Structure 1
Amino acid sequence: MKRILLALFTVSLVAPTWVHATETAEQSETKMLAITEAKLKDTQGGCACSYTVKNLQSSPLKRFEAYITVKNEQGKFRCDAAHFSFSKPIQPNESRTLSNEAYGKTCGKNPTVSLLMVSTCNYTDGSECDTENIEITDSGLKWVE
């Protein structure tokens, strides 16, 4: 009888952990944002980086911070988006172009762009996303994932 109780107790401890791990894995696979139409353009100040963010969630996106890396023949540099906190959140299925400039850097020839990481991605309902929740689609640039 003690063995049966011990087995039931062990199952009751392990089962919720397994269910939670499965739910977490499913959540991380859900795409919450799409990044499209990335563009690099040399300006007098440096390499201007822009891309479009599309909200794929049912809740408005209120804050987004990402670290974007550009690699060209001269080396690698970050062309981060500024820390965007939207006074008017990005509504579901709405897109908005975000841009920043890597001062003193040139975009160069044949640059490749990669999403290094997402540090902040907050929705008005309290949900968050991270790098695994971002879908990078055809952008005209060679995104490295």
Structure 2
Amino acid sequence: MKLTRLLACLLLLGFWHCNSRTTKVQRTDVSFLALCRAQPAEAVSELLQALQQVASARQWRLDTASSFNLLEEDTLQTYSALLVLDIEEDSLRIWHHADIERYARAGGAVLALDSAQVTPYLWPFFEGLLNDTLQPLEGVPPKLAGFEVGGWQG
């Protein structure tokens, strides 16, 4: 549990730091959207609890959802970061792909955490997040400060 809390703290602090320097997407507060399965795995549930504790202590907003209806460009822009936690492969539709990619290109931070996959996702952008092989756009740094794997910001 201590490792989960440490990971949660590092994730949120890293996103806050990265988004405090972002000027493309305007936000007045620190807020996160964590997207996961309707019945998340035990490790994901523990991570969400730890993230909620850290967010509460820092007076940040953490919204959790299992519905992909929130993955619209206008809704995503209200969040500092999107956390995609262990979703089922191919559960996101092509319009969700486009909205998430536009969000990242506009300066929103995206972090994908997933268990090892036997079947690859049919979405190169998401595969790049999971495997740390995402190729950044021209003029965009390839890594977030303080992150080694799985995070990207446009």
TM-score bracket relative to the smaller structure: under 0.3
Larger RCO: 1 or 2 (CA < 8 Å, sep 6+): 1
Name the TM-score, length of structure 2 as normaliser: 0.25
Name the TM-score, length of structure 1 as normaliser: 0.26
Structure with greater strand share of residues = 1
Structure with greater helix share of residues = 2
